Structure 1
Amino acid sequence: MSVSFDVIGQPRSGAGKGASRRLRRTGLVPAIVYGGHRAPEPISVVHNDLIRHLENEAFYSHILTLKIGDTATKVVLKDLQRHPAKPFILHADFQRVSADEQIRMTVPLHFVNEQQSKGVKLGGWVSHLLTEVEIVCLPKDLPEFISIDMSEMDIGDSLLLSALPLPEGVALASAADQDEPVVIIYSGRTGDVSSEEGEEPV
């Protein structure tokens, strides 16, 4: 992991919608820290600091350092509640992590060499059917993203979940749906199915 993130939090005692609204009016976001065989801990974080972190895609799939007073805890971001119409974060969930316990996370897929792929050079077009995938791994093995090299993909080729190039120590979270396609290169000609000469298209 090439970057690190420090999240500064502070304890909060108020509960309920009224207390949360009061916090938000002061520029804070109500949050909760749970897991790690410890009781959940209500906290708050500075809204603008959280927004700044969220501008970096890596923040969503990194081990974060949550600092509350003199205590630093390793956590991951598990959930965000956003305002439906305004650029505001309403609530955040952080999960404590332990070095020897696997975590379940969603990480983005990065498609590289797409425009240099055989299929695109021949006029094909790319359909990304998945842009992220859920994985399990130890915290030390958590990838920032999973890279898919498309340079050798031709027209008609697809990559299935089961063939995803996972880093060492990383596994798919679910054994089901591993035949689900991740990315496909279709023919650039009109229609998905090309007919033989003299035959009507199906």
Structure 2
Amino acid sequence: MAYATIIRGDTRQSYTALAKDGSSFFIPNTLYKSFFLKEGQELNEVEFLSLREKVLYKVTYDKALALIARRDHGQKELCMKLIQKGFDKDFSDKVTLDLREKHIIDDVRFAYQYIMSRQRKSPEGIPLLRMRLKQKMISSSDIEKAVNQYLEDDTYFAAIQIAIKRLQRKNTPQEKLITTLIKKGFNKRDIFEVLSDIEKE
């Protein structure tokens, strides 16, 4: 007696592998075709579990790629997002690990790009950037690698200059300007250094 059978779902474009104990999993039409499955096909327990693993991995992998296509993610953030969307934790862990090993996702690259994006939109100091990246579940070592890369690119002082000029365009008094920048995490000494350079222009 077969352990499971492949049956048609609610629509012509979906199928389900249904086991005799009532357990089941959905098979998208694309995978139904690519795995050369047939309606009414019987599976033994090993075949059922093997097919389940292949289907769940591929569905999770495809969703991860779709999320990455919208914007870059860190590994833990991507894994958490998959789980929140109802994907199995073990498969989410495996998929994100595989994506990291293939360099499709990279936490240092993500952290660096995140820093650059923040600095273009709303420049902030290093302490605030570190805090935001920790909230994205990036490891301390990867954060420091990204921060060091950012500082080596010599864009840190340019970010302070952008922030100062935006506040100056609003006619912000200098004392308030300095206080605002300190709250954004910029070092007081660096603020004065950039202000001095601007005054010389």
TM-score clears 0.5: no
Q: 1 or 2, which has the higher strand percentage? A: 1
TM bin, normalised by shorter chain, reads under 0.3
The TM-score normalised by the length of structure 1 is: 0.24
- Give the structure, 1 or 2, with the largest relative contact order (CA under 8 Å, sep 6 or more): 1
Q: 1 or 2, which has the higher helix percentage? A: 2
Which entry has the higher C-alpha Rg, 1 or 2? 2
The TM-score normalised by the length of structure 2 is: 0.24
